[in-house]
Structure formats: C-alpha cells, structure tokens
C-alpha cells in the first residue's frame, strides 16, 4: 500500500488505483473504498475519513453486521496462525495483544466467544487507541449491552480504525 500520499495525489488517481490503495481502510471491505473514491475531490485525509464514516453510518443493519463480521477476533485464531491482514497485525501488536500472558489469552478467548455468541459478530475496538487491560475491560463491559447498542458501538470503532488507516496512507 502507498504511504504518505498527498491529498492532491489521492484526488488525481484513476478510480481503480484509488480503490486499490484504499481497499482495506475498513477490514476486508473494499466497498467503502469503491464508494468514497467516487466522492473525490477530498479536501484532506480528515474529509476522506468523514466521507467513509458517513458511508458506514448509512449502511442498513445487515450491511453494518457484515462489516463487523469481517473483523478478526482480537488475539484469536487468525492472529495465532499469522493470517491477519498486515493492518490488523500492526494494530493488534500496538495494543500488546501479541504478548498476552497465558491467563490473559484464556480470558480474551472466553470473552471473545461469549461476545460473538451473544451478538453474532466479533468484538471490535480500535486496538491502536487501547492496551490489553482496557480491551479486556471493554469486552466485559460491552457484553452487558444490547445488540443494537453494540452494532452502533462496533461501527463507531470501525470508523476510528478507518480514520487511522487513512492517516497512515495520506499525509496532512
């Protein structure tokens, strides 16, 4: 993926190039890039992230569920097998999820399973804005929420992740 593009460069890409560069600003959901690349020109990386956020907010419930279901469990099987996207690998490492103690790993797996069983999609939190302890506390606290509340909270976390991923690719 390109890094440090100026917004003028983003705006001058042909549509297919734009989609290719930004295809994983939302985990494994290139539809966001397809939608927002047609909304150029962007004034800034922040403007681009706002457009992506509005797209996510306007998805029907099923679309929001699909977006959440594409996210991997934190410190889960895919991480153990080295099968995360490069972005997710970096994000989970930044939170310390690659260095869990045996006890933290057991607790994380149990909470992830409980969350997925209750809500039908994985727990999503912006790992780059959190560390292990906060993530475990967030999982426990959010398990008490309603499904509708978690759908909204999860999408808001996706928007934070998206914003940071755009910031990784576009210089201000």
71 is catalytic: yes
Query: Alpha helix (H) ranges present in the chain?
Result: 7-12, 15-22, 31-37, 45-58, 61-69, 77-80, 86-94, 102-119, 132-142, 147-169
* Residue 5 bridge partners (DSSP): 170
**Chain Cα centroid distance, residue 80:** 19
**Catalytic residue (choose from 71, 159, 163, 165):** 71
CA torsion angle 94 35 171 25 (round to 10): 10
Residues catalogued as catalytic: 71
């Amino acid at each position: 993926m390109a890094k440090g593009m100026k917004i003028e460069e983003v705006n001058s890409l042909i549509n297919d190039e734009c989609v290719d560069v930004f295809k994983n600003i939302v985990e494994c959901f290139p539809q966001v890039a397809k939608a927002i690349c047609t909304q150029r020109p962007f004034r800034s990386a922040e403007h681009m992230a706002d457009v992506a956020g509005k797209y996510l907010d306007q998805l029907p419930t099923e679309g929001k569920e699909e977006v959440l279901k594409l996210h991997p469990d934190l410190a889960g099987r895919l991480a153990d097998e080295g099968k995360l996207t490069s972005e997710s690998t970096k994000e989970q490492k930044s939170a310390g999820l690659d260095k869990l103690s045996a006890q933290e790993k057991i607790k994380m797996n149990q909470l992830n399973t409980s969350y997925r069983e209750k809500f039908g999609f994985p727990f999503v939190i912006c790992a780059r804005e959190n560390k292990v302890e906060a993530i475990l506390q967030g999982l426990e606290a959010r398990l008490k929420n309603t499904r509708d509340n978690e759908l909204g909270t999860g999408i808001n976390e996706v928007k934070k992740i998206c914003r940071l991923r755009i910031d990784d690719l576009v210089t201000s």
